[in-house]
């Protein structure tokens, strides 16, 4: 077998049998460690794995990261729950204020109607005292119907 250099003086031509042997050496069997999960040969039967500390540190870091993520998620859920409760309280307070406002307006209308009724009755009494008489219908005149005024306001 002759080896000859290429024009670049970098590579040498290699027979085909050698190339196949080199490729098959890359595919050698290397056992997977049961402790660390990496592919390596055991150092000694009494020493199961040299990466044992590395594996423990990795597991510890993963557990810490998982715990941090869970704590963060719990905190986020808690803040969302507080925000929903606050929004619900605000909505409830607004509804209560609206109902109170509505009740106040209703009471105000009733008071105004009662005031008008009292004014009408006073006017009627004054008119009767002055000698005005009722007509055929039994009413004092136009616009003096107390019930009509009351029902139009309510």
pLDDT in tens, 31-69: 888 888 888 888 777 777 888 888 889 999 999 999 999
Task: Give percent of the chain above pLDDT 90.
Answer: 42
d(CA 44, CA 30): 15
Are residues 75 and 65 in contact, defined by beta-carbon separation less than 8 angstroms? no
d(CA 33, CA 40): 6
d(CA 12, CA 4): 6
- Pull the structure tokens for residue 39: 């592919």
Res 120: pLDDT: 93
In 3D, which of 60, 54, 15, 11 has the Cα closest to residue 35? Answer: 54
């Amino acid at each position: 077998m002759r080896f000859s250099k290429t024009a670049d003086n970098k590579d040498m031509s290699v027979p085909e049998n050698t190339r196949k042997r080199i490729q098959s050496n890359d595919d050698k069997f290397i056992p997977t460690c049961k402790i660390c999960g990496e592919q390596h040969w055991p150092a000694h039967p009494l020493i199961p794995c040299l990466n044992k500390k590395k594996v423990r540190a990795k597991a510890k870091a993963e557990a810490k990261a998982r715990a941090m993520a869970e704590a963060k998620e719990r905190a986020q859920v808690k803040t969302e729950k507080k925000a929903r409760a606050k929004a619900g309280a605000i909505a409830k307070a607004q509804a209560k204020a609206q109902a109170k406002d509505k009740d106040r307006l209703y009471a105000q209308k009733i008071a105004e109607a009662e005031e008008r009724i009292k004014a009408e009755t006073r006017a009627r009494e004054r008119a009767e005292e002055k000698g005005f008489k009722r007509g055929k219908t039994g009413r004092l005149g136009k616009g003096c119907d107390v019930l009509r005024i009351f029902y139009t306001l309510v």
